Structure 1
Amino acid sequence: MNLQHIHNIYFIGIGGIGMSALARYFKSNGKSVAGYDKTASPITNSLESIDISIHYEDAIKNIPINFLNTEKTLVVYTPAVPKNHLELNYFIDNKFTVLKRAEILGIITQETFCMAVAGTHGKTTTSSILGHVMAPSKATAFLGGIAENYNSNLILGEDKLSVVEADEFDRSFLKLSPNIACVTSMDADHLDIYGQHEELLQSFKDFTAKVSNTLIVAKGLPLTGLTYAVNEEADYYATNINIVNGTYVFDVVTPTKTINKIHFSLPGKHNLMNAMAALAMADVYGVEEAQIKNQLASFKGVQRRFSYKIKSDECVLIDDYAHHPTEITAVESSIRELYPDQKALVVFQPHLFSRTKDFVNDFAETLAKFDEIILLDIYPARELPIPGVTSEWLLSIINNQNKILSTKRELIKNIQQANSKVIAMLGAGDIGLLVKDVEQALKKRS
């Protein structure tokens, strides 16, 4: 498909993090862009501020009239959109070109030198680090989060080099054409799609078979490629790691040289691993050592990835997207590393009934490591309830006496009654929208 011949691009689910990056990209390239989403959000507000027309009612009458030309309009949708969506079915029934988001990203990567970041954890942070490292090289990066350096999920460069997240959900990453790729992790997830962990692993192997130049993998994964690690030998590994004024300072041994005294500010070994993956990809591409060091040192992070909302002597409030047991463990480990003498409260909103059911024991084990636990109801996203799968069920399994179930309305009161200085609000649902109210309440109290 030749995107040059498309005048209008209509997004169904335009407020999604991946969809909105594409909407920004096409708008910046002179296309006419509009779309639908279920609810307004900071993302849709930011899109409307650059003259992208968005409506919030699923009704054919709301589609702008100039988007009703089948030859000039491309329709993009996300798999999260229900099959009975009126606008989606209208476009399908009237023979418009209708493609999933991953297919559009696939078309873009066919035309560029593509650097793709895959893995069940760490994709967004790693691709954001890589996008920042590659920005002076004029890369365009499509991100699954808001990079703090750019306040955007799109780093707009030129059309010769792209950085993308390779998403395993719905096997989307098999639509990409990666030249250099990394795989950060392959833990069991999305079993509502794959059924068995083995099917997920096979999907990753299918993805790596598509890599035309170089594959880079976290050491220990059952894949063949250049390896990276922290404090253990690999093709690329970090060593001599120290923390100076809250910043990691370390050396990296590569296949050809040693890069000394790299500075990187994101906390936790998992973020050091993310930085190592990005460094290895940039080095393989041929980026100069000075650029790699400068960009790693100036990287500010990603919104909702261990994002400090309050950082004072009285209180620390951290906002994080963590929604899988491995990710929650990484947050808890980072808190213990940074605040070893402080009590920590986790506020967790489980995401998806199926994920809660598949990993209930793992969730219970990792949440129990916090000093205090507050659970919200499960965020359903695209799913219908599963009988017996509730937050009450998860709460009953957690081996910790300091645990409660809270409504959103009672959340601030319950947080204020807790005894922990460090508070982590975790989840991939709408808990991120609650953080601001909690932040204001805690600041007012202090």
Structure 2
Amino acid sequence: MAPGLPTAMDRPHFIGIGGAGMSGIAKILAQRGAKVAGSDAKDSATADALRALGATVHIGHAAGHLADDASCVVVSSAIREDNPELVRAAELGIPVVHRSDALAALMDGLRPIAVAGTHGKTTTTSMLAVSLTELGREPSYAIGGDLDAPGSNALHGAGEIFVAEADESDRSFHKYAPEVAIILNVELDHHANYASMEEIHESFGTFVGRIVPGGTLVISADHEGARELTRRLDGSVRTVTYGEAADADVRVLSVVPQGLRSEVTVELDGDRLTFTVSVPGKHYALNAVAALAAGAALGVPAAELAPALAAYTGVKRRLQLKGEEAGVQVIDSYAHHPTEMTADLEAMRAAAGDGRILVLFQPHLFSRTRELGTEMGQALALADASVVLDIYPAREDPVPGVTSELIIDAARAAGADVTAVHDKADAPAVIAGMAKPGDLVLTMGAGDVTDLGPHILDRLSK
């Protein structure tokens, strides 16, 4: 058993092992020497990556998949109580561990950086993981998306730093005790778990209270929700603000677009640093500055970390170029909240030149659409034309009266050109038929709209 492997997790069984968060923890445990097993609804490249590390991955959920000698069963908040493997665990008396507790145990004894915020967590965590690796720091990391290949969302590194994405959606980020915490922004989202901004602020406040003595909070000076959170703090935690605001501790002086890249100049501790971020748009440039400030707070020289950030070239689904056919580029965007949608569309507008921006949008969750459908429609008005699919339910049951029409009506009221497509299989032909040479096509949303990119490229090639 490798050092740092919690005894209770030496034979873990993961229900939903192929998920972004779950697979990362399973991967690190396997790399530390655990006998990992689990199940997922369907086979995937991520499942294959886990098998390559020695994990046993079952397809489908059945009581028989759970070994009698499993030391624990790891679950996420998406796993329902009637899952047959979870029921079997109760019968056998096997402890059930939430994935946040498992991740917290993996960070124990290391120097954690926990990245929180309503948007940008995956990108910022990835930037830190890549740049620290580039500097030879050999960090461990757990990310909510793949860097460059399926299964690359996590790694057990030999260094002392552990970079982790901290999820606020179910309050699981309350389990972590980071040396450095990043809060990128604070907005109302995850409406099934939070009823108001007051609850959101209370939850993020609890997260800040988990920072270890002597640790640092790195928080946006630009985002009003983050500024309000900063005002509420009692001053017991060292706080470093970053952004374009005049009072920011790490001040962004300029972000200069360079096609699908940006040149960023910041002032930190009286020094000016200029570096390149290999993704477009101010939103991503600010993520890089947050990463820079967090690394500096942990003692990594900013003058070394800034150029290393250029090694980050993107993460899957975050403005990821899927290909080009007939002069049309197809780009995948994970954006599913209006703020994210706006940021990605503005970044693409700066990169598109004279070309048009066409969006194939799939709303994610009935609860989010109910609360933010109007704002989603307004964001789509930034595109030249959009195709909107039916809502991707994920873990939710349908809500009467909540459909994509809420978004479509709002978009049209804002002057947008919007087409509704109810059969997902028809969407590639529809949007490919709209595209002309020089256009950018975005597949946008947190659901399975990402799978349509290759089909759009195929249609464009004919």
Deviations 1:321-374 (A, max 9, x none): 111111100111001111142211111111100000010111111112211110
Kindly report which structure 2 residues correspond to 1:24-423, keeping only aligned pairs within 5 A, or say none.
Answer: 24-63=27-66, 67-69=67-69, 73-135=71-133, 136-148=136-148, 152-158=152-158, 160-212=160-212, 213-220=215-222, 221=226, 222-224=228-230, 225-230=239-244, 232-244=246-258, 246-259=260-273, 261-311=274-324, 314-399=327-412, 400=415, 402-406=417-421, 407-419=423-435, 421-423=439-441
1:18 pairs with 17, 21, 24, which one? Answer: 21
User: Equivalents in 1 of 2:371, 2:145: separation in Å?
Assistant: 25
C-alpha distance after superposition, 1:3-60 (max 9, x if no partner) = 1354311100101101001111111111111111112223223223333221222211
- Call closer, same or farther: CA 1:18–1:254 in 2, change over 3 Å: same
The answer on whether the counterparts of 2:28 and 2:155 sit within 8 Å (CA) in structure 1 is: no
Segments of 5+ residues of structure 1 without an aligned counterpart are none
Mapped to 2, the partners of 1:346 and 1:417 lie a distance apart of 13
Cα deviation code 1:98-149 (max 9, x no counterpart): 1110111122223221111100000000011011222221210110111138
Cα 1:276/1:313, change in 2 over 3 Å: farther
Q: Aligned partners of 2:94 and 2:296: how far apart in 1?
A: 42
Shift of the alpha carbon at 1:313? 7.6
Provide the secondary structure at the position in 2 that maps to 1:417.
helix
Q: How many angstroms apart in 2 are the aligned matches of 1:201 and 1:240?
A: 30
Contact 2:115 2:182 in 1 (8 A): yes
Structure 1 residues 59 and 245: CA distance shift in structure 2, 3 A: closer
Counterpart residue type for residue 113 of structure 2: M
Runs of 4+ residues over 6 Å off in structure 1:
none
Q: Using the alignment, how far apart are the partners of 2:255 and 2:363 within structure 1?
A: 34
- Letter paired with 1:223: L
Distance change in 2, residues 1:2/1:121 (3 Å): same
- Seen in structure 2, the aligned counterparts of structure 1 residues 266 and 76 have a Cα distance that, compared at 3 Å, is same
Aligned mates of 2:416, 2:291 — CA distance in 1: 41
Secondary structure of the corresponding residue to residue 170 of structure 2: helix
Residues 398/242 of structure 1: CA separation in 2 closer, same or farther (3 Å cut): closer
Q: Secondary structure at the residue paired with 2:129? A: helix
User: Greater shift after overlay, 228-237 or 110-119?
Assistant: 228-237
Q: Which residue of 1 aligns with 2:236?
A: none
* Separation in 2, partners of 1:140, 1:2: 13
2:318 match: secondary structure: coil
Q: Distance in 2 between matches of 1:2 and 1:303?
A: 29
Mapped partners of 2:266, 2:85: distance in 1: 51
Amino acid at match of 2:419: I
Deviation at 1:265, TM superposition (A): 1.4
Q: Deviations over 1:260-303 (max 9, x none)?
A: x3121110100011000000001111113453133212111111
Give the counterpart letter for 1:293 in structure 2: A
Q: 1:424 aligns with which of 435, 442, 456?
A: 442
Cα distance change on mapping 1:2 and 1:345 into 2, 3 Å: closer
Distance 1:195 1:241 in 2: 36
Q: CA RMSD in A?
A: 2.1
User: What is the identity, as a one-letter code, of the residue corresponding to 1:35?
Assistant: G
Distance 1:393 1:238, change over 3 A: closer
CA distance in 1, matches of 2:267, 2:366: 43
In structure 2, runs of 5+ residues without a counterpart are 231-238
Equivalents in 2 of 1:161, 1:353: separation in Å?
38
Q: Is the 8 A contact 2:137 2:159 kept in 1?
A: no
- Correspondence for 2:235: none
Contact 1:265 1:297 in 2 (8 A): yes
Cα offsets for 1:386-441 (capped at 9, x unmatched) = 00101133223322462112111111210122145111101111112222222333
Equivalent residues of 1:133, 1:282 under 8 A apart: no
Compared CA separation, residues 14 and 52, structure 1 to 2 (3 A): same
User: What displacement does 1:188 show?
Assistant: 0.8
C-alpha distance in structure 1 between counterparts of 2:453 and 2:107, whole Å: 35
SS of equivalent to 2:146: strand
Q: Deviations over 1:240-259 (max 9, x none)?
A: 44344643223221125322
Asked if the contact 2:131–2:311 (Cα under 8 Å) also holds between the matched residues in 1, the reply is no
Residues in 2 aligned to 1:417 and 1:275: alpha-carbon distance in whole angstroms = 37
TM normalised by structure 1 equals 0.93
SS of the aligned residue for 1:239 comes to: strand
Q: Structure 1 residue 159: deviation in Å?
A: 6.1
Quote the Cα distance in structure 2 between the aligned partners of 1:195 and 1:426: 26
Pick which of 130-139 and 10-19 moved more: 130-139
Matched residue, 1:441: 459
Rounded Cα–Cα distance in structure 2 between residues aligned with 1:241 and 1:328: 20
TM-score by length of 2: 0.90
Alpha-carbon displacement from aligned partner over 1:182-220 (angstroms, at most 9, x marks no partner) = 100111100111122211121001111111210010004
